[in-house]
Amino acid sequence: MCIMANYFKTKLRNALWKAQHFTRAVKKNLKDRDRSLVKARNRRKTVLDYGPINIFVDPTNVCNLKCPMCPTGAGLTKSEKGFLDHAVLIKVVSELKHTPKTFGLWLAGEPLLHPQIDGLIRICAQHGIKATLHTNATKLTPEMSEKIINAGLYEISFSFDGRTVQEYEMLRTGADFSKVVDNICAFLRMKQKRCSPLPRATVQNIEAYEKGRHNRRPLYEKRELLEEKFRDLPVDEFKTILAHAWSGVMDGTEYVSPSHCKGKRWVCDVPYRDLTFNWKGEAVTCCGDLDNANILGDIKKENLYEIWNNANFQRFRAAMHRDEIEKFALCKDCERIWADPHPLDYELRLEMLRYKLRV
């Protein structure tokens, strides 16, 4: 009996030591702004004493592809189409008093369709902002590549989906596989020729969901296929993700992983991290709100920091803590607020672990 008791005591002591060691490691690796986010969320604050960590401004909600796993491409967005005015972006960047971790010029459409996209990037660079683009690369001609690099682009992410030519053209309906590969390679060679680390380049691959297969293996084994296509070219990161349901909007659609809205809810970190503007300059809840379901402010009428802590944002954060998120369209069907996320959403699982450990 004593032997068994000692055995379980030892097991418990080791488990506690590992938990404490992990907690210390997570705390050590958290940056100051992440600490502020976690502290504010865990203390149920609705008025924040720091600025948005990530800012997204949409150049346009128009797209030239008909991707079946995207609300814009699938024709499910009904909001007015248009292009970002320079004055709106100038107001956003000129009011910034801190440097955001990410400043993304993308949201609901293809940013390279904006007729003055290089001008938007240049505005950011002139204000010391590191602008990032996320593009399908169909319009990334050599002339366009030179324009956006010269404008001062800090980072670019390419959407390059599927494992084969057939799967790519099925997921990226309207795109030509060979032409897109040539466009990306030409851009990377241009960067290589300049012997510059900038703009940083990421190749992101969205994999179509197949029931059963994704329960058995990780997505990362496909990175070798991506790396082979762009071997010896200056790609900084290869990223593979699973097509998701866009807060339930795409739920039940072929190729998209089903929503996992079950179990216990938790407090999403997006209201404490991101400030997202559509092409009109209206602040929406997050980068998943492609159809302006929740308007929280307007940069043309308010200061950026006033929007960040206005009454609408305060209600949004409070609703998370009070479990009243049904008041906000999209959020109530978003799998990221549930404590049982998709098994392959490793980043969200780590964030939830941090939340439980209160670090």
- Average pLDDT over all residues of the chain: 83
pLDDT of residue 150: 97
Average pLDDT over residues 197-212: 82
pLDDT of residue 288: 87
pLDDT of residue 358: 44
Q: What is the distance of C-alpha 151 from the center of its chain?
A: 23
Distances (CA, A) of 191 to 52, 134, 145, 156: 30, 17, 9, 11
Average pLDDT over residues 52-65: 96
pLDDT of residue 164: 77
Average pLDDT over residues 300-310: 97
- In order, the DSSP letters of 278-334 are -TTSEEES-TT-TT---EEEETTTS-HHHHHTSHHHHHHHHHHHHT-GGGSTTGGG-
Q: When comparing pLDDT for 330 and 302, which is higher?
A: 302
Question: Would the pLDDT of 316 be above 90?
Answer: yes
The one-letter amino acid code at 33 reads: R
Question: Would the pLDDT of 40 be above 60?
Answer: yes
Percent of the chain scoring above 90 in pLDDT:
51
Question: Would the pLDDT of 25 be above 60?
Answer: no
pTM listed for this prediction:
0.83
Question: Would the pLDDT of 12 be above 70?
Answer: no
Q: Write phi, then psi, for 110 (nearest 5 degrees).
A: -100, 110
| Dihedral sign from CA coordinates of 279, 285, 286, 288 | negative
pLDDT of residue 224: 65
pLDDT of residue 153: 98
Per-residue model confidence as pLDDT tens digits over 237-291: 988 777 777 776 777 676 676 665 556 677 788 899 999 999 999 999 998 899 9
Burial classification of residue 286, based on how many CB atoms lie within 10 Å of its CB (0-12 exposed, 13-18 middle, 19 or more buried): buried
Nearest to 205 by CA among 241, 157, 174, 231: 241
Q: When comparing pLDDT for 352 and 172, which is higher?
A: 172
pLDDT of residue 330: 80
CB-based burial, 46-68: b 16+ in 10 Å, e otherwise: bebeebbbbbbbbbbbbbebebb
pLDDT of residue 250: 72
pLDDT of residue 26: 46
Per-residue model confidence as pLDDT tens digits over 97-137: 999 999 999 999 999 999 999 999 999 999 999 999 999 99
- The pLDDT confidence band at residue 8, using thresholds 50, 70 and 90, is low
**Is the omega angle on the peptide bond into residue 234 within 30 degrees of 0, that is, cis?**
no
